[in-house]
Amino acid sequence: MPSSAPLIRSKATGPNGHKAEIPISYDINIPYVDVEKQSKIKTPYPEYLPTWDPMWFEPLPEFEYHDPALRVKDKSKPNLLNGTGAKIHDIQPAIGSVIEGIQLNKLNNAQKDELALMISERKVLAFPDQDLIDAGPAEQEAFMRYFGKPNYQPVSGTVRNHPAFHVIHRDGNREEIARFLEARTTTTLWHQDVSYEIQPPGYVMLGLLQGPEVGGDTVFAATDMAYKRLSPTLRSFLDTLKTVHSSSKMINHTRLTGGLVRKEAVDTVHPLVRIHPVTGEKCLFVNAEFITKVQGMKEPETKWMLDFLMNHIVTGHDFQARVRWQPRTIVMFDNRATTHSAIVDYLDEDYGAKARHIFRLIALGEKPVPVYDEFDE
C-alpha cells in the first residue's frame, strides 16, 4: 500500500541552472499535465482526470497467486454464457471477441471465474455499453481485485484516492504531439503492461470514458501464436533465454520532464518464453518498452534479437485483433498471452488530438513460468 511520504518534483534543468529542453515523450499516450492545468477541459467524467498526489510505493514482494480461471470445471462456461443473453462476435478466428448482453458488474463469483477462463482462451474481450463505467472508481477497483492484486502507478496520472488507476487522457496537446512526430515515424508502442514487476499483470481492464467517433483503436497480438510461427530451431533456443525487464527508462524520463516519481526503478529477470498457467501454451514475453538486456548476449546481439521478435509480432496481422472502441466499452485482456499498442490516429491537421479518455486497472498474476524448471535468477 502507498505511504504518505512527501515527494518533491524533479526540475527539468540543465548545467549551470539553465532550463533544459524537455525530452520527447517515449510514449505519446501518457500525459504529464497536472489536473489543475486541465481545468478548462470538458469531460463527462471529471473525477477521472489524472492527478499526481504525492505518495510512495515500496518494491512489490512475491505473493501467492490463485488464478480464478483454474477453478472452472466445466469449460463450456454454463454460468457465464447460458441463459444470460450473451451474444458473441469474434474479431478474429483465434483472438478477440465482442460480447454483448452481459453486464460485468452483475456477475457472481462463478461467472467471474468463467470470465477469467474465457479471457485466457480468447485473449481479448470487448464489452460495449457497460454500467460498470458509471459505477465509480471504488466499484471498478473492487471488481478487478477479484482477478488479482492491484498494481500502483509509479509515474502516471491516477484517480484521486485510487492509485491503482492508470489514466490515459488526450485532448489537444498540439505542441507535444508535433514534437513527438518530428522524431518518430509512428505513434505505436507495442508492449506488455508492467512487465518489470516480479509478478507482472495477468488480467487487465481498460474502460473508455470518452473517445473520438472514429480512431483511437487498440490492436493486440497473440504471443502464443507468434511463438508457434517461429521455427523449431529458434523456439528451442528462445526457450532457454532470460531477459532483464526494467522501469528505469520510464522513471528517468519522468524525472527529466519534472514529473512525480512514486517508486524507484525496478529491474527483474524473466524468461523470454513463459508457459501460460491456464492454457499451457508457450508465449513470447517480450516488448521494446521495458526489456534492456538478453542475458548472455552482447548489446548488438540483444538489439538484433529484440528487433527481430518485435518486427515478427508487429507485422503478424494474421495473429492480431484490432479493437474498435464504442461508448462505455470495457476491454479485458490477458497480458500474459498478448502484446498491444494504442493507435493515435485521432489527430487534426495541426497534430492536435481529439478527446480520448481511458482508465486502466491491473490484476497482478503469477511469476512467469519458464519452460525449464532450472530457470534461476
pLDDT tens-place string over residues 180-224? 778 888 878 899 999 999 999 999 999 999 999 999 999 999 999
Using CA atoms, how far apart are residues 353 and 346, in angstroms rounded to an integer? Answer: 6
Closest by CA to 158, choosing from 265, 58, 34, 252, is 34
Domains in the chain: boundaries:
57-364
Query: What predicted TM-score, i.e. pTM, was given to this entire model?
Result: 0.91
Confidence (pLDDT) at 26: 55
Model confidence at 324: pLDDT above 80:
yes
Cell of 315: 507485422
Mean pLDDT over the full length of the chain: 88
Closest by CA to 2, choosing from 139, 146, 151, is 151
Q: If 0-12 CB within 10 Å is exposed, 13-18 middle and 19+ buried, where does residue 18 land?
A: exposed
Where residue 21 falls among pLDDT bands split at 50, 70, 90?
low
Domain spanning 57-364, CATH architecture: 4-Layer Sandwich (3.60)
Where residue 12 falls among pLDDT bands split at 50, 70, 90?
very low
Closest by CA to 103, choosing from 111, 93, 94, 92, is 111
CB 333 within 8 A of CB 220: yes
Confidence (pLDDT) at 123: 98
Confidence (pLDDT) at 8: 36
Confidence (pLDDT) at 247: 94
Where residue 46 falls among pLDDT bands split at 50, 70, 90?
very high
Using CA atoms, how far apart are residues 349 and 339, in angstroms rounded to an integer? Answer: 30
